[in-house]
Amino acid sequence: MGNQPTAFISKLWDMIHDPGTNDLIRWSDVHDDTVYVHDVAAFSEKVLPHYFAHSNWPSFVRQLNIYGFRRVKGDSSRGSESYQFAHEDFTRNGGQRLHLIKRKGQQQGSGGTTNTSAITNGNMELLDKLFDQLNALESECAAVVSETQTLHRIYAQQQQILSCMLDLLQELNTHPDLAEIQRRLQSALEKANLRVNPLVMGTAPPNTPLPLMQQLPSIAEAVRTAKETTDLPPLHDSTHDSFQQRE
């Protein structure tokens, strides 16, 4: 176990030597101990999830810092798109030195013995796994928060639309022009010897709400028939039947 690198360092080494990721992460062309990340956003999305249980770039950098990697200044013209980091024991041809890379506080003392606060490699691997799980939970939490915010926006929009629809229906139900149209239609129907429920055509008290949605089909049928003939047949609905029985 003493000569075995930790899980994080092993994954980092495999990641850099994977031919499929060379366009996003590779060794520097200038320094053998420097790693170059070409596109941070693409690297986080396409590479990190294949080696760790997350796609969180800040968490990845945090782990690099824990293991003593340092950031190397690169081409400033690329801004935050690229990133370079280095470690004296993490080199292009130095795979045999990977086990020397420890977490801060776990380095070898001057006498060759580990610090009293050192953690065994087995526990280190466990900590790395727990760290990966924590990063995964952070990513999932961020996704849930984003989805919740989206749902809140959709709900607010739906509430606004519903409120506008209710206001429109209320306005249509009490609009004076609509009442005038109903009175004219009532007069036309009376001339055609048709009898309808007073609530339908607006002969009820002025402020009485009208059941428009229920009565409009009968009114529309009467108007359609009136255009075809002056001798209108009786309306065959429950309202008309009740009046016929009274006669």
Amino acid at 217: P
- For residue 246, list its beta bridge partners: none
Once rounded to an integer, what is the mean pLDDT over residues 80-85?
86
Structure tokens at 54: 């997350």
Residue with tokens 């229920």: 214
What is the arithmetic mean of pLDDT over 100-125?
60
Backbone angle region of 167, left / alpha / beta, with phi > 0 → left and psi within -120 to 50 → alpha = alpha
What domains are defined for the chain? 7-104+119-142 (1.10.10.10), 175-229 (no CATH)
pLDDT confidence tier of residue 46, bands split at 50, 70 and 90: very high
What are the φ/ψ torsions at residue 215 (nearest 5 degrees)? Answer: -100, -20
Q: Are 25 and 15 in contact (CB under 8 A)?
A: yes
Dihedral of CA 106/110/112/117: which sign? negative
**Residue 223 in this model has a pLDDT that exceeds 70:** no
Rank 3-7, 9-13, 168-172 by mean pLDDT and report only the highest: 9-13
pLDDT number for residue 127: 72
In this predicted structure, what is the pLDDT of residue 238? 46
Q: What's the pTM?
A: 0.47
Contacts of 62 (CB under 8 A, 6+ apart): none
Asked if the model's pLDDT at residue 36 lies above 90, the reply is yes
Give the model's pLDDT for residue 86.
94
User: Tokens 């849930």 appear where?
Assistant: 144
Mean pLDDT of the chain: 73
Q: Is the dihedral of CA 38, 44, 45, 47 positive or negative?
A: positive
The answer for 236, left when phi > 0, alpha when psi is -120 to 50, beta otherwise, is beta
Tell me which of 35-44, 104-113, 225-234 is least confident.
Answer: 225-234
Q: pLDDT band for position 39 (50/70/90)? A: very high
Tokens in use for 85? 């980091």
* pLDDT tens digits along 194-220: 444 444 444 455 545 444 444 545 555
What residue has token string 């993490």?
90
Least confident of 119-123, 163-167, 234-238: 234-238
